[in-house]
Structure 1
């Protein structure tokens, strides 16, 4: 198994753990406050790390990082909008598959030609991602609004993956600080536009912000792992493997919170595992 595949799976673990912590915290306070705390914490961590381990970042590297931050912010906004409308069963799986497909299309258009076995693994991963993130129907149905929210969220997260892959390792970690900063500014802007609370106002709020910061650090670690993975393996492969993060969230919810584990999710996990195995053997 190549280092690129290992790093891509580490990115999935980071993103999945971040979603678990952030999602659990957002049950108690505004999700906007949780997202903002995570972005600020991640940005500060990357600023410190990037200053201690300086690279050779050029303006175009920061431009790609800013574009990645915009993609992440757009994905988060539409994901939250879909979930707020009670369409989790549609938005989550559509966004997960969309986030996996965008790097595949871009990678192929840039001339990547993965091995046949790798392609099989990539194609197998898509239904696995869908199944593992699929929620029980909530009565809202598969409306076009839910599909649109999920598709836009997937495009946003896919843009995050593609733009990050354009930042070379030699640029160091400072561009990732810019990535998080853009996400924080976008979150503040949208929260203000929608009149959503984004600042903690009591002890419980500050405690939740602390957990939001933990989730942000996990997500930023996943982003850093993806950045390095994208330079050690094909973008199409790395993007799909990183998009397996819903499997990590589901496993944490099952083991830590003892949430019900549905048959479709179990099948999805098996399919995701088969996908990783196929890619690793290629």
Structure 2
């Protein structure tokens, strides 16, 4: 069940990034990121009202820290997508979001089996290959920086979310989205970028945010039922969903490296599930 939930999280993130990426490329990343957080907040509040739970102060603190990571990850990922640097931002952010929670999980006492470790190791190049796009020139430093910052942000999001207790309900996740929204407003203001939505297409970010909210819930449930390291690695396979969706909807061609990455993604899932 933990593996299935993590895969649901990866699929939700992949579709969310596809929707938000299209909206960001057509307009601006910052309003899309803001509306995405707004949509995620609505989804989280609805869940919290239906399943209130009993969050401790520590759970809320972890939720707030996750919000900082989520806001940071979304902002820089969307900025990278808006600039057309998918081949740089996606692989770096996905690998970064997987590595940090693995380190946190191992440091906190988790001990994945050898088979799971093989799957985790296979996931890193799988994420990279799936997200690769042929390019005429070397990736710029802006794309590299976006990927690094997004990866750190999502790594913090996953690591902190994994610390929320299973009795806490969903109010910590609602706080996560609220903090993410505030972080994006503060960051965009500091960078002198407009964050207030001004085009109808930017509200597609709200749909992406609802999907992201589902992804966070699935990840939280997965980390409660299994290892944080496993949940984070499987969730970080989300670029595979983005690529497949681009093939089906936009009729983009899967290149050889992406095809190899998809095969490695399947292998990683099988190994982690078997372990």
| Alignment TM-score, normalising by the size of structure 1 | 0.92
Counterpart CA distance in 2 for 1:86 and 1:246 is: 15
Seen in structure 2, the aligned counterparts of structure 1 residues 76 and 41 have a Cα distance that, compared at 3 Å, is closer
Counterpart CA distance in 1 for 2:142 and 2:212 is: 28
Q: How does 1:81-230 map to 2 (within 5 A)?
A: 81-83=79-81, 87-139=85-137, 141-143=138-140, 146-201=143-198, 205-206=199-200, 208-230=201-223
* 1:67-93: CA deviation from partner (whole Å, max 9, x where unpaired): 001011222333345456664432321
Q: How far apart are residue 40 of structure 1 and its match? A: 0.8
Counterpart CA distance in 2 for 1:21 and 1:77 is: 14
Aligned to 2:224: 231
**2:34 matches 1:41:** no
Counterpart CA distance in 2 for 1:80 and 1:209 is: 12
Counterpart CA distance in 2 for 1:85 and 1:138 is: 16
Aligned to 2:240: 247
Counterpart CA distance in 2 for 1:36 and 1:276 is: 32
Aligned to 1:16: 14
Q: Verify the 8 A CA contact 1:89 1:138 in the aligned structure 2.
A: no
Counterpart CA distance in 1 for 2:248 and 2:84 is: 25
Q: How far apart are residue 144 of structure 1 and its match? A: 5.1
Q: How far apart are residue 196 of structure 1 and its match? A: 2.1
- Three-state SS of the structure 2 residue aligned to 1:231 is helix
| CA-atom RMSD in angstroms | 1.7
* 1:216-262: CA deviation from partner (whole Å, max 9, x where unpaired): 10010000000111011111111100000000010001001111211
Q: Which runs of 5+ in 1 are unaligned?
A: none
Aligned length: 275
Counterpart CA distance in 2 for 1:34 and 1:128 is: 28
Counterpart CA distance in 2 for 1:200 and 1:145 is: 24
Q: Verify the 8 A CA contact 2:33 2:184 in the aligned structure 1.
A: yes
Q: Which runs of 5+ in 2 are unaligned?
A: none
Counterpart CA distance in 2 for 1:110 and 1:42 is: 29
Seen in structure 2, the aligned counterparts of structure 1 residues 157 and 219 have a Cα distance that, compared at 3 Å, is same
Counterpart CA distance in 1 for 2:95 and 2:119 is: 14
Seen in structure 2, the aligned counterparts of structure 1 residues 28 and 190 have a Cα distance that, compared at 3 Å, is same
- Three-state SS of the structure 1 residue aligned to 2:182 is helix
* 1:65-124: CA deviation from partner (whole Å, max 9, x where unpaired): 110010112223333454566644323211111111111111111111111111111111
Seen in structure 2, the aligned counterparts of structure 1 residues 151 and 261 have a Cα distance that, compared at 3 Å, is same
* Structure 1, 215-224 or 102-111: larger mean CA deviation: 102-111
Counterpart CA distance in 2 for 1:79 and 1:92 is: 7
